[in-house]
C-alpha cells in the first residue's frame, strides 16, 4: 500500500489495495493501524458491489441499522443511501456532526462509497479532528468539561431538520461524556456535536446552551482541525466516528450526488476520559 497524507494530523489516501478482494488478517491489521494514525482513510479507484462494501465493513464488527430505516424498510437495513438531487429538501450531513450519537452504542466507524459526483464539481466532505479540538481548549476549560455528560437526541436532526415521522417510542436519546476516551488510543476526545447534542446535564438551560454554542463554534471556525475529501466516483472513505466529525458540503445545486454508507456498531459505549486534568 502507498500512503499519501491529506493533512499532517488527519486523513490519508491509501493506494494499491482492492477492497473488492478477500483481505488477509495482516492487511486488515495494517488498515486498523492506519486508522489509529490518521482517523480518516480514503481509498480511490474502487469498484465495489453492495456485498463487497458490507463485507469490508463487517471486518470492523456488527453492521449498524440507521434509526430512520423504519421509513424505508423495504431496502437493505445495512446500506444507508445518501442521495441529493435538485428536488431534495435537504442533504444528509449538511452540518458538523458525528454519526448517530443518539444511539446508546454509536457507530465506531462509517464507510461511504461514492457512486455519483456533481458534474459541476463540489460536494466535498470536511472532516474535523476531535483529538485536536480538545487539545486546543484552555486548561481551565478542559478541567470544567471533565466529568460532564451531555444528552444526544435523535429527534434534533431526524425530526427537527429532516421532518421525518419518528418510530413508535421515538428516536433514541442517549447520555455520553463531554470528554470521551478513545478506546484504542486512550486519548481524550471532545465528544459533543451540533447535529445531536441537545444539552449538558447538571447545567441550567442558559449555561448549557452557552457552553455548547461555544464548543460548536470552536469546531466549525477552527480551520486547522479539518481535512477535506474531494470525491470521485468509485472512492470509498472510511472514518473513525469516535474521534472525528464531518460536514457534507451542499454547494452543487441543482446537480446530484449519490453514495452509499455502511456503519459499524461500537462494542462499548463512549467512556469518560479518566484523567482529563493531566496532559
Question: What is the three-class DSSP state of 213?
Answer: helix
Report CA 41 to chain centroid distance, whole Å.
12
Kindly indicate the confidence band of residue 83, based on its pLDDT and cuts at 50, 70 and 90.
very high
pLDDT at residue 179 in the model: 98
**pLDDT > 80? residue 276:** no
Whether residue 261 lies in the annotated active site: yes
- Classified as helix, coil or strand, 15 is strand
Say which residue the cell 429532516 belongs to.
162
Flag whether pLDDT at 88 surpasses 70: yes
Q: List, for residues 116-162, the tens digit of each pLDDT value.
A: 999 999 999 999 999 999 999 999 999 999 999 999 999 999 998 88
Of 66, 78, 246, 257, the catalytic one is 246
Cβ atoms of 178 and 191 closer than 8 Å: yes
55 belongs to the catalytic site:
no
Q: What pLDDT was estimated at residue 90?
A: 87
Question: Which of 57-71, 132-146, 184-198, 211-225 has the least mean pLDDT?
Answer: 57-71
- Give pLDDT, residue 72: 72
Q: Any catalytic annotation for residue 59? A: no
> Which superfamily is assigned to 2-267 in CATH?
Clavaminate synthase-like (3.60.130.10)
The neighbouring-strand residues paired with 264 are: 63, 109
Q: How confident is the model at residue 278 (pLDDT cuts 50, 70, 90)?
A: very low
What is the model's pLDDT at position 275?
A: 65
The average confidence (pLDDT) of the chain is 95
Over residues 9-46, the pLDDT tens digits come to 999 999 999 999 999 999 999 999 999 999 999 999 99
The single residue of 53, 182, 242, 261 carrying the catalytic annotation is 261
CA distance 261 to 47: 15
What integer pLDDT is reported at residue 133 of this predicted model? 98
Could you say which of 53, 97, 176, 247 is catalytic? 97
- As a whole number of angstroms, the distance between CA 186 and CA 41 comes to 20
Residues 145, 256: Cα–Cα separation, whole Å:
41
Cell of 239: 472514518
Query: Is 164 in contact with 172 (CB distance < 8 Å)?
Result: no
Residues 184-207 have pLDDT tens digits of: 999 999 999 999 999 999 999 999
One of 53, 78, 99, 176 is an active-site residue; which one?
99
Q: What percent of the chain has pLDDT over 70?
A: 97
Give Rg (Cα) of the chain. 18
What pLDDT score was predicted for residue 69?
Answer: 86
Which string of b and e fits 181-209 if b means at least 16 CB within 10 Å? bbeeeeebbbbbbbbbbbbbeeeeeeebe
Q: Is 72 part of the annotated catalytic residue set? A: no
Does residue 160 or residue 221 have the better pLDDT? 221
Amino acid at each position: 500500500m502507498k500512503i499519501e497524507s491529506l493533512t499532517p494530523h488527519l486523513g490519508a489516501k491509501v493506494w494499491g489495495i482492492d477492497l473488492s478482494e478477500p483481505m488477509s488478517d495482516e492487511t486488515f491489521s495494517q488498515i486498523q493501524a492506519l486508522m489509529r494514525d490518521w482517523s480518516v482513510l480514503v481509498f480511490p479507484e474502487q469498484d465495489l458491489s453492495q456485498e463487497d462494501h458490507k463485507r469490508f465493513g463487517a471486518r470492523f464488527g456488527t453492521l449498524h441499522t440507521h434509526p430512520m430505516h423504519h421509513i424505508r424498510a423495504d431496502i437493505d437495513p445495512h446500506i444507508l443511501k445518501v442521495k441529493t438531487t435538485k428536488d431534495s429538501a435537504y442533504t444528509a450531513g449538511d452540518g458538523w456532526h458525528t454519526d448517530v450519537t443518539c444511539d446508546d452504542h454509536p457507530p465506531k466507524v462509517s464507510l461511504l462509497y461514492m457512486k455519483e459526483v456533481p458534474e459541476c464539481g463540489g460536494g466535498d466532505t470536511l472532516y474535523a479532528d476531535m483529538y485536536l479540538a480538545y487539545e486546543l481548549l484552555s486548561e481551565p476549560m478542559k478541567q470544567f468539561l471533565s466529568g460532564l455528560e451531555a444528552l444526544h437526541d435523535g429527534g434534533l436532526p431526524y425530526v427537527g431538520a429532516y421532518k421525518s415521522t419518528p418510530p413508535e417510542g421515538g428516536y433514541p436519546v442517549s447520555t455520553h461524556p463531554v470528554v470521551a476516551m478513545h478506546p484504542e488510543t486512550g486519548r481524550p476526545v471532545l465528544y459533543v456535536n451540533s447535529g445531536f447534542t441537545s444539552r449538558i446535564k447538571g447545567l441550567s438551560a442558559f449555561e448549557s446552551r452557552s457552553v455548547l454554542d461555544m464548543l460548536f463554534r470552536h469546531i466549525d471556525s477552527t480551520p486547522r482541525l479539518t481535512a477535506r475529501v474531494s470525491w470521485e466516483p468509485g472512492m470509498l472513505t472510511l472514518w473513525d466516528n469516535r474521534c472525528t466529525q464531518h460536514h457534507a458540503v451542499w454547494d452543487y445545486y441543482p446537480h446530484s450526488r449519490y453514495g452509499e454508507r455502511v456503519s459499524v456498531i461500537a462494542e462499548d459505549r463512549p467512556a469518560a476520559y479518566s484523567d482529563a486534568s493531566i496532559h
